Structure 1
């Protein structure tokens, strides 16, 4: 059963790409340390937790970082101008709250929006862009904003807004990838007997180029690599092209250059054995996940992607089904418990 208190803690912990040390890294260490044999943080900031075994070496990775914002200018009226860290759509920022991490602690700001009463017809036709986004932090001048702790380079992220929609569904910023980070941690906690030599990795800087997984997979040199990340669920406006649905179970890419056929087939066998519904999607090109870079480590790694489906990715209202989360935990757990040496020649 999903631990809602822990899930919320993981989702809301600070950690924009490159700044995972602001909060989420400590949470991951706190949760994994009691259930692994050794744990360390590398020079890039990845958390690498090792649960020893004599079988195949497997790396399972979920990224810790969030998309976010960085202040690049403070104007004379005290408004912050920002640039994106990762894939932020400026249209999602209008009239939203932003949590900043300043020299003087956490501060909040709001993205201003022209009231409809004073918009011109031309204004109503325009979408927000990075030239029009300004953030009001309550200051009346640049000097006052700086006194509050704001600087060029201050980072921020969507303000916490964890919402339970009904018994099974939640909506919140940063299910990407914190819901999968939670599933990886829970799978590690539930793990019983296993032969595999397992490395649980909380990777950094995925949203800005899969950077942490690149470094971690080189150091670990695994035989098998599993990226745990979110994927798209059917939603309004998908034009019928998205297959996975909320409440339908975890998702794995079916075929494609980033997916090792034998690893994928083994996951299918585990899902059937434990009566876990497993949704499939096609991946005709390398995935935009840590698996893409893990696959190319050293002499090559047999990779796959295990996903929790969500709606409205990279927005403040990412939505998931808790039944999918629970089933993803169980699939990951049994996959790791039953993994044995195999011929990984495709």
Structure 2
């Protein structure tokens, strides 16, 4: 069963790329502390938890950073002009709420929208961009905004908006990648006997260049690396280019970024536990922490385990609770059953 309270805490904890220390790091440490042999934070901010074993060094990585925003200018009217941290589409910000972390604590703002009544006909055909998106924080001028704690460099993120759509589906900002961070934590907490020497990494700064995974994999030097990250699920407008679907189970990639023997072993574990496993073709680098783990030092056997979601990098990312539950079970199975094996392709 999915622990909805813990899942929501992890999703809503602050932590834009480079600022994971604002909240999510402490949530991860608290959730894992009693279930691992040791836990530490490295110089970049990764949380690295270790469950000791006598088998191969295995690194599971789920990134804990979020895409977000940074103030780059406060105008004379007190409006915040912002730039993206990571892959934020400015069109998704119009008429939305934003949460900032100022010198004087947490503050909220709204991205304004010109009512259709007063729009010029030509403006109705234009999409929002970074030159037109501004945030209203309720200030009547730059001085008041600064008194509220806003500065150039203040960071923000989509405001919390967790909703349960029905018995099986949820929608919220930041399923990417907090839902996989949650699944990794829950799997690790439920592991019983295991042979592998397990390293569970809540990695930082994935959204701006896989930076946390780079330094963590160098330090751990794993033989096997499994990235846990979301992937695309079928949705309106995908033009049948997306194969995985919500409710169809966890997803694992095939392609050059994936060790074929490790992928085949994962398929065996899925069948053993009766877990349906969806396949995603990845002819190029997967865009996950597996990219950088694979080429660490002398090479690592890598795989990607994903929860499928709709509407990625928006405030309404949508997932199926059944997929989350099955991903936990598969991750647990891998943690318990990975052992010494020949993974040379």
TM-score (normalizing by structure 2): 1.00
Q: Deviations over 1:167-193 (max 9, x none)?
A: 000000000000000000000010000
- Render the CA deviation track for 1:124-167: whole Å, top value 9, x for unaligned: 01100000000000001100000000000000000000000000
Alignment of structure 1 residues 165-314 onto 2, 5 Å: 165-253=165-253, 255-314=254-313
Q: How much has 1:340 moved relative to structure 2? A: 1.2
Counterpart CA distance in 2 for 1:345 and 1:2 is 36
**Contact 2:188/2:335 (8 A) holds in 1:** no
Helix, strand or coil: the match of 2:230?
Answer: strand
Superposition deviation, residue 256 in structure 1: 1.1
Partner of 2:326: 327
Aligned to 1:84: 84
Structure 1 runs of 4+ aligned residues shifted over 6 Å read: none
Distance in structure 2 (CA, Å) of the matches to 1:334 and 1:134: 47
Deviations 1:60-95 (A, max 9, x none): 000000000000000000000000000000000000
Instruction: State the partner residue of 1:40.
Output: 40
Per the TM alignment, residue 298 of structure 1 is displaced from its structure 2 partner at its CA by 0.6
Q: Distance in 2 between matches of 1:172 and 1:256?
A: 30
- The reply on whether 1:316 has 2:315 as its aligned counterpart is yes
2: CA distance between counterparts of 1:307 and 1:259? 13
Cα distance in 2, alignment partners of residues 338 and 211 from structure 1: 29
- Taking the aligned partners of 2:7 and 2:236, their CA distance within structure 1 comes to 26
Q: Partner of 2:342: helix, strand, or coil?
A: coil
Output one character per residue of 1:276-317: Cα deviation in whole Å (capped at 9) or x when no partner: 000001010111000000111111100000000000000000
**SS of the counterpart of 1:140?**
coil
CA RMSD of aligned residues (A): 0.4
CA distance in 1, matches of 2:68, 2:271: 39
- 1:6-21 map, 5 Å: 6-21=6-21
Separation in structure 1 between the aligned mates of residue 291 and residue 179 of structure 2, nearest angstrom:
20
Q: TM-score, normalised by structure 1?
A: 0.99
Measure, in 2, the Cα distance between the counterparts of 1:302 and 1:40.
Answer: 24
Q: Aligned partners of 1:126 and 1:235: how far apart in 2?
A: 24
* 1:144 match: secondary structure: helix
Q: CA contact under 8 A between 2:61 and 2:201: conserved in structure 1?
A: yes
Distance 1:162 1:43 in 2: 32
- Structure 2: segments with no counterpart, 5+ residues: none
> By how many angstroms is 1:339 displaced?
1.1
Give SS of 1:315's match.
Answer: coil
Instruction: Name 2:122's counterpart in structure 1.
Output: 122
Instruction: Specify the alignment match of 1:337 in structure 2.
Output: 336
**SS of residue matched to 2:10:** helix
Instruction: Please name the residue that 1:49 is paired with.
Output: 49
Deviation at 1:25, TM superposition (A): 0.2
Contact 2:64 2:178 in 1 (8 A): yes
Runs of 5+ in structure 1 lacking a partner? Answer: none
Per-residue deviation, residues 21-46 of structure 1 (Å, max 9, x unmatched) = 00000000001110000000000000
SS across alignment from 2:108: strand
Whole-angstrom CA distance in 2 between matches of 1:9 and 1:33: 16
Does the alignment pair 1:59 with 2:59?
yes
Q: Distance in 1 between matches of 2:335 and 2:69?
A: 37
State the SS of the aligned residue for 2:307. strand
Query: How many residues are aligned here?
Result: 345
